[in-house]
Amino acid sequence: MAALSSRLFPILKYNLTNHKSVCLQRSLLRWTERSFSCYASNCQLQGTNSNNHVLPGKVDRFGGVTVDLSDRHFPPDVTESAFHVLLQDSLRQWRVDGRVAAWLRVPISQGRLLSVAASHGFTFHHARHDRATLSLWMGEGENRLPGFATHQVGVAGAVLDEASGKVLVVQDKNKTKNAWKFPGGLSNLGEDIGATAVREVFEETGVRSEFQSLLSVRQQHKHPGAFGMSDMYLICRLRPLSHAIHFCTQECLRCEWIGLAELAQTDATTPITSRIAKLLLYGYREGFDKIDLSVEEMPAVYSGLFYQLYHRELPTSYKQP
Amino acid sequence: MAALSSRLFPILKYNLTNHKSVCLQRSLLRWTERSFSCYASNCQLQGTNSNNHVLPGKVDRFGGVTVDLSDRHFPPDVTESAFHVLLQDSLRQWRVDGRVAAWLRVPISQGRLLSVAASHGFTFHHARHDRATLSLWMGEGENRLPGFATHQVGVAGAVLDEASGKVLVVQDKNKTKNAWKFPGGLSNLGEDIGATAVREVFEETGVRSEFQSLLSVRQQHKHPGAFGMSDMYLICRLRPLSHAIHFCTQECLRCEWIGLAELAQTDATTPITSRIAKLLLYGYREGFDKIDLSVEEMPAVYSGLFYQLYHRELPTSYKQP
């Protein structure tokens, strides 16, 4: 096992000698002796040539290599200088192997290794909870790595009571300009559009409702409060299942059922609310098929998961092959 | 100035004494003597009580406080133990002041401070390029901080040549199952939906086109390749401005103009392509007003920016107040 250690990590050994780091040596021995074979069996190992000293990584089908520093076999107390040399040698080997990208998954507890990676050209790709993912493009020409999520998704619900012709609107508490708008808010990760609309309407107003259709999509870049990202805002048509208002006083100043025709006419609203009120009024008078996008759940080809597809209603005769 | 330093940073001084860190002392003096007044004038300072030792931060209208460690006056060589004490005291004071959240902006070069922040409960909110943003909820009840972007946005273009009734389709090179689909790809940050469709169609096929309408929206969670995030996929109807195909051989195996009726019938396609081909055929035969969402640029109320709003065409008589 000592031979394996010295074959795979001669430069680390060199560093050990220089730095007399008993701590690192112990960690490396732990990594190699106890669990290296296990770690290796789970990874497609890079640099099998005995002259190389390369971080074990997984190769993806796009020609990138990913190293997870939160792997339980990665020595938690590796010195920054040892990591610097190891990363340098790994990058050299990955370039020889024709890898086009390197990815590092770094737990927040190993934050001190981030500046080492940055000195080799890595930057943050994204970070969530207790882990950051860094990337480095090593291919020819410009960086072709996929970016991280660029949009937050907000959903509003236009709850229309068809019997009375009234629609549920709120005034935000925290805005300087009080204007009627449809209740809504940001989607949670993994939440369907219709589910966000129903949840947000209930949380803000106390009114229960069910999804009917998608009415409108808005895209806005440099959206305030989106941390430099863009905003996709969807407005749904909902049907009320209850009518009593118990609005959230932390978020709303007022909450009322008001006539749809009145909302479509008033100046005390936002441009988008006014426009959607007019659209909703058109559908209310002429038929909702004039304004609705219906939703259908369909199977994804490769993942085996399902997705929601929204578009104009298609006559049944066209749906059949 | 030495008095100011000791008034604001007595605990740091205490640490200096213990650690005999001449380096940190020099940095702190630089921070305080050279530019503290400048830094302070740009921030709403927390903890003006002389017994407190608090990181200078900006307070937002939601009651959170943000400290930017990439500020040029923040001492770059602060020790982790000194930062630990300073952050501990800052958090104590912010809680006294009723702050509901704390945000830390940390440059990648200061990555070693991340584990210190994590030990106080901070987690990654997001990270891009050379900077991470950490957050800590200090209010009552569950975390009410807004999340970061949750969706990548992809756009496909269905380029229909009305004269011939043919539509432009490709087969991906990297998929195991070859199926005709509309060319498309991920939006760049800040890029409008229609612009992505036109750009991606040109990059993949060499065909120039212009945006006509939005046809469909798909939402898929746990999307493969989206780093655990969701995918919003929009399909646009485009009109060709050129017809000669020069397809990207890196991305595509084949690229052709094929009859819309044939695409709507064939099994050699994906479920979503088949469905949209049928929708497009319906619009081609019965009028595109049956299937289109039109787009309009409208002004945002608070930011002074503009957004793109998509919905069914609204009769002019309804658009006027």
CB atoms under 10 Å from CB of B250, counted, come to 9
Q: Do A298 and B192 touch (CB under 8 A)?
A: no
B321, with CB counted inside 10 A (0-12, 13-18, 19+), is: exposed
Q: Which chain A positions have a beta carbon within 8 Å of B300's beta carbon?
A: 220
Q: Given A179, A189, A230, which is nearest B189 (Cβ)? A: A230
Residues B118 and B223 in one domain: no
Q: How far apart are CA B36 and CA A304, in angstroms?
A: 58
Residues B90 and B161 in one domain: no
pLDDT attached to residue B178 = 81
Looking only at the bridges linking them, the beta strands covering A230-240 and A151-161 are: parallel
Residues A168 and A293 in one domain: yes
Q: Which residues of chain A have pLDDT under 50?
A: 1-51
Q: How far apart are CA B72 and CA B74, in angstroms?
A: 6
pLDDT attached to residue B321 = 59
DSSP characters over B91-102:
HHHHHHTT--EE
Residue from B113, B144, B151, B298 to probe the interface with A (highest A Cβ count within 10 Å): B151
Q: Does B27 touch chain A if contact means CB atoms closer than 8 Å?
A: no
CATH number at residue B285: 3.90.79.10
Where do runs of H (alpha helix) occur along chain B? 2-8, 10-19, 22-29, 35-42, 80-96, 114-119, 193-205, 260-265, 271-286, 316-319
For A10, the domain range is: 2-137
Q: Do B123 and A110 touch (CB under 8 A)?
A: no
Q: Given B218, B270, B308, which is nearest A219 (Cβ)? A: B308
Q: With a cut of 90, say whether residue B139 has pLDDT above it.
A: yes
The secondary structure of residue B70, as a DSSP letter, is T
pLDDT attached to residue A27 = 38
Q: Does residue A144 form part of some domain?
A: no
Q: Does B111 touch chain A if contact means CB atoms closer than 8 Å?
A: yes
Q: Given B152, B291, B318, which is nearest A150 (Cβ)? A: B152
Closest CA–CA distance from residue A86 to any residue of chain B (Å) = 19
Q: Does residue B142 form part of some domain?
A: no
Q: With a cut of 50, say whether residue B37 has pLDDT above it.
A: no
Residues A305 and A221 in one domain: yes
pLDDT in tens, B247-256: 998 889 999 9
Q: Which chain A positions have a beta carbon within 8 Å of B262's beta carbon?
A: none
Q: Does A3 touch chain B if contact means CB atoms closer than 8 Å?
A: no
Q: Do A318 and B190 touch (CB under 8 A)?
A: no
Q: Do A281 and B127 touch (CB under 8 A)?
A: no
Supply B276's token pair: 């949209």
A286 is catalytic: no
pLDDT in tens, B53-70: 799 999 998 899 999 999
Looking only at the bridges linking them, the beta strands covering B294-299 and B306-311 are: antiparallel
Q: Does B115 touch chain A if contact means CB atoms closer than 8 Å?
A: yes
* Helix (H) or strand (E) run with residue B66 in it: strand B64-68
Q: Which chain A positions have a beta carbon within 8 Å of B232's beta carbon?
A: 151, 153, 232
- Segment among A203-212, B6-15, B76-85 with least mean pLDDT: B6-15
- Residue finishing a domain among A102, A137, A172: A137
Q: How far apart are CA A155 and CA A152, in angstroms?
A: 10
Q: What is the mean pLDDT of residues B289-310?
A: 88
Residues A75 and A158 in one domain: no
Closest B-chain CA to A185: B146
Tell me if B280 sits within 8 A of B292, measured CB to CB.
no
pLDDT in tens, B68-79: 999 888 888 899
Q: Which chain B positions have a beta carbon within 8 Å of A270's beta carbon?
A: 301
Residues A113 and A174 in one domain: no
CB-side neighbour CA atoms (13 Å) of A127: 31
Q: Which chain A positions have a beta carbon within 8 Å of B298's beta carbon?
A: 271-272, 275
pLDDT attached to residue B293 = 95
Q: Given A147, A224, A279, which is nearest B302 (Cβ)? A: A224
User: Which residues are CB-neighbours of B309 under 8 A, at least 6 positions away?
Assistant: A216, A217, A218, A272, A275, B295, B296, B297, B298
Tell me if A254 sits within 8 A of A171, measured CB to CB.
yes
Q: With a cut of 80, say whether residue B149 has pLDDT above it.
A: yes
ipTM reported for the complex, 2 dp: 0.82
Q: Does residue A319 form part of some domain?
A: no
pLDDT band at B38 (very low <50, low <70, confident <90, very high): very low
Residues A183 and A133 in one domain: no
Q: Does residue B270 form part of some domain?
A: yes
Q: Does A272 touch chain B if contact means CB atoms closer than 8 Å?
A: yes
Q: Does residue A146 form part of some domain?
A: no
Domains in chain B, number: 2
Q: Does residue B310 form part of some domain?
A: no
pLDDT in tens, B180-194: 999 999 999 999 999
pLDDT attached to residue B46 = 39
Residues B36 and B168 in one domain: no
Three-state DSSP class for B276?
A: helix
Closest B-chain CA to A220: B307
- Residue pointed to by tokens 């619900």: A157
Q: Do B147 and A226 touch (CB under 8 A)?
A: no
More confident residue, B46 or A52: A52
Q: Does residue A142 form part of some domain?
A: no
Of B201, B107, B11, the residue nearest A132 (C-alpha): B107
Three-state DSSP class for B171?
A: strand
Q: How far apart are CA B118 and CA B174, in angstroms?
A: 40
pLDDT attached to residue A4 = 36
Q: Which chain B positions have a beta carbon within 8 Å of A149's beta carbon?
A: 148-152, 226-227, 229-230
Mean of per-residue pLDDT scores for chain B: 84
pLDDT in tens, B88-114: 999 999 999 999 999 999 999 999 999
Helices A80-96 and A112-119: crossing angle in degrees, nearest 10, is 40
Residues B32 and B165 in one domain: no
Q: How far apart are CA A289 and CA A297, in angstroms?
A: 19
Residues A305 and A222 in one domain: yes
- Residue finishing a domain among A91, A111, A137: A137
Residues A132 and A235 in one domain: no
pLDDT attached to residue B72 = 85
Q: Do B225 and A146 touch (CB under 8 A)?
A: yes
pLDDT band at B34 (very low <50, low <70, confident <90, very high): very low
pLDDT band at B27 (very low <50, low <70, confident <90, very high): very low
Q: Does A115 touch chain B if contact means CB atoms closer than 8 Å?
A: yes
CATH number at residue B50: 3.40.630.30
Residues A55 and A157 in one domain: no
Give the CA distances from residue A240 to residues A170, A199, A256, in Å, rounded to whole numbers and listed in that order: 15, 13, 13
Closest CA–CA distance from residue A294 to any residue of chain B (Å) = 10
